[in-house]
Amino acid sequence: MIRRLVTEKPGAGRASIPRRFCWTGGERCAPSAARMHSLKRNALWCVVGIAAGFSLPADAADDADLIAKGKALFQAKICFTCHQVDENVPAPAGIAMKAPKFMGNFWGKKRAVTLGYGGKDAEVVFDEKYFIESIRKPMDKVAKESSAPMPPPPAVNDEEMKALVAYVRALSDGSAGDADEGGLIAKGKIENFSFAAYKGSWGKLPDFSKLKPFKTGKAESGTADPGLAEISENFGVVFEGQIAIEKKGNYKFKLGSDDGSKLYINDKVVVDNDGVHSMKVVEGSVALEPGKAKLRLEYFEKGGQEELALDMSGPGIKRLQLAKQIIKPKSSGKQPFPTGNPIDITGEARIYRNFIEGASPRGIGVGYPEKVNLCFDANTMQIAMLWHGAFIDGAKHWNGRGQGFQRPSGHYLINLNRDQPFAQLESDDAAWPQAEGRDTRAKGIRFRGYFLTGEQRRPIFGYKVGDNLNVADYAEPQAGALPSIVRNLRIRGNGEVTYLAAAANEITMKDGGYIVGDSMLKVSFPEIGDLQPNIRENAGRKELIIKLNVDGRVTLKQLYEWNL
């Protein structure tokens, strides 16, 4: 018999907080790689002068399209769940897994890895070769700071890989664009580009005409880049040149910098962003006639992070990047994903009894050391969700009044249909009992609680089906590069009952198992013996069912795997 240890009321708030937390809030993260690099270099000042004609490169639109495609794939291939790309939007799974962040100037830089998870130390350069290898063979070279190896991602073909490379490289150099502002249309091409760099320590832009540059030169990049000075502090740069104006009208310029900067168009100050300050954006506009407009951009950096961004828009130009970095939209200050108390899974299972997004208010989260997790719904007796990696972050329910539902933190999340697992059907074609809403209880089934067993304190859930059948329902996680779960169902009593293993618009047999719809889920039945799974069509969907005739005791095992 199952001891009744847990009793709950539907919709009641629960605040049983797990015992162990690890503070890894985003606000306390280490400085970016780019900043650390800049702090270590020698101190100087520089001014850049541009003398150029300006036009769009022929392949600019294609580059922007490739980057946009890579950004979409970064979401579709669920890379975003582990790798943070925006300081205002944490990567939920990456917090607990300590996954590398794709922020700052990281492309082309050295990275510490281990040869295999926990293997010998090594060093690689984060370039196209390493990036592709890390996706195709994620276990070969694992970032040393990671607390777990990257699981095999969904398949990426060669064309998709090109787009992902373009996007991640663009994240590093600041040219990835921003969807909130419609994306970066193209980079400007400044021809006959020249610059002059100056050393000095000032609190505002000096009169560069009275100073002697320590370095001058030309570049084919077509964008203003303080890095041409090859120093990080106490320097200034001046760019001078021309931009091609095709249509008469008013043109707007957004100038962002850390520290000061000033933009001249036809010898007139259009944007003044002078002084020592962190990244700050100032706007200005000017009426221009068709032809060549003279451009001069002055910039200085006193210390810390060096940043320079310049965007142009006007008739026929939606948004054009004229400097290395881009103008990012202002943050709302609201975190879309509460973080701060990720639940640490070590030597034993962790139970999270609070509101979990994707389940009813009686969802019970279980995290296992094997890096696989589930949510058991005590309303329907179903496994509501399965996912890999990080378990869940308790910040939403730890802070303030703890209201609302918290989503799982990990990756490869599978949401299962809201279906009770057992039913005593009147006929073979009778409809399966449906859960109409989030708070709907299973029909003919009563939850009896759970207890923890073994040294790893893993839960066994108990419920009663009808009047004569008692079920012990417990999961056995299977460790590996791609962990899985075996669901053990021990039914005691007497009577006939039908088990619903899966339901979807389509269920197909493959390699000894069943692929469930268009999800990542594959199920099979180890040690099934004489029991026969059957796929039936009912209520506009396919249902994978097994009929059981219980006379004393029946044990059924169902394997849940990720079909990637």
- What is the per-residue pLDDT for 340? 62
Pull the structure tokens for residue 468. 């004569």
| Domain range annotation of the chain | 33-56+188-321, 60-181, 350-562
Beta carbons within 10 angstroms of residue 118's beta carbon: 9
CATH of region 33-56+188-321, choose from 2.60.120.380, 3.90.1300.10, 1.10.10.10, 2.120.10.80: 2.60.120.380
Cα 168 to Cα 134: distance, rounded to the nearest angstrom: 13
Cα 419 to Cα 428: distance, rounded to the nearest angstrom: 17
Cα 139 to Cα 223: distance, rounded to the nearest angstrom: 38
Whether the predicted model's global pTM rises above the 0.95 cut: no
In the chain, the amino acid numbered 51 is A
DSSP, collapsed to helix, strand or coil, labels residue 477 as strand
Sign of the C-alpha dihedral computed for residues 328, 329, 332 and 336 taken in this order: negative
Q: How many residues does the chain have?
A: 564
- What is the per-residue pLDDT for 482? 80
What is the pLDDT tens value at each position of the chain, 564 positions in all?
Answer: 333 333 333 333 333 333 332 322 333 333 333 333 333 333 333 333 333 343 333 333 346 678 888 888 887 776 877 888 877 677 766 766 788 899 888 899 999 999 987 789 999 999 999 999 988 888 889 888 887 677 666 678 999 999 999 999 888 876 665 433 444 445 666 667 789 999 999 999 999 999 999 999 887 777 888 988 888 889 999 998 888 888 999 999 999 999 999 999 999 999 999 999 988 999 999 999 998 888 899 999 988 778 899 988 888 787 788 887 777 655 444 444 555 677 888 889 999 998 998 899 999 999 999 989 999 999 999 999 999 888 888 877 776 556 788 888 877 889 998 999 999 999 999 999 988 777 889 999 999 999 999 999 999 999 999 999 999 999 999 998 788 999 999 999 999 999 999 999 999 999 999 999 988 899 999 999 889 999 999 989 999 999 999 999 999 999 999 987
Contact assessment for residue 195 and residue 219, using Cβ atoms and an 8 Å cutoff: yes
- State yes or no: cis peptide before 121, omega within 30 of 0: no
Pull the structure tokens for residue 111. 């990275």
Question: Cα 217 to chain center, whole Å?
Answer: 40
Residues sharing a CB contact under 8 Å with residue 53, sequence separation 6 or more, in sequence order: 190, 191, 192, 241, 242, 243, 244, 292
Strands 186-187 and 317-321: parallel
- What is the per-residue pLDDT for 22? 30
Question: Between 128-136 and 158-173, two packed helices, what is the crossing angle to 10 degrees?
Answer: 130
Report which of 328, 299, 331 is spatially closest to residue 311, judged by C-alpha positions: 328
Which own/partner pairs from 268-277 qualify as long-range (CB within 8 Å, at least 24 positions apart)?
274/204, 274/205, 275/203, 275/204, 276/203, 276/204, 276/302
Report which of 193, 281, 300, 280 is spatially closest to residue 237, judged by C-alpha positions: 300
Give the architecture-level CATH label for domain 60-181.
Answer: Orthogonal Bundle (1.10)
- What is the per-residue pLDDT for 66? 85
Question: Cα 112 to chain center, whole Å?
Answer: 22
- What is the per-residue pLDDT for 119? 87
Contact assessment for residue 134 and residue 165, using Cβ atoms and an 8 Å cutoff: no
Q: Please name the residue that has the structure tokens 């880049």.
A: 225
CATH of region 350-562, choose from 1.20.120, 1.10.260, 1.10.287, 2.70.98: 2.70.98
> If 0-12 CB within 10 Å is exposed, 13-18 middle and 19+ buried, where does residue 139 land?
middle
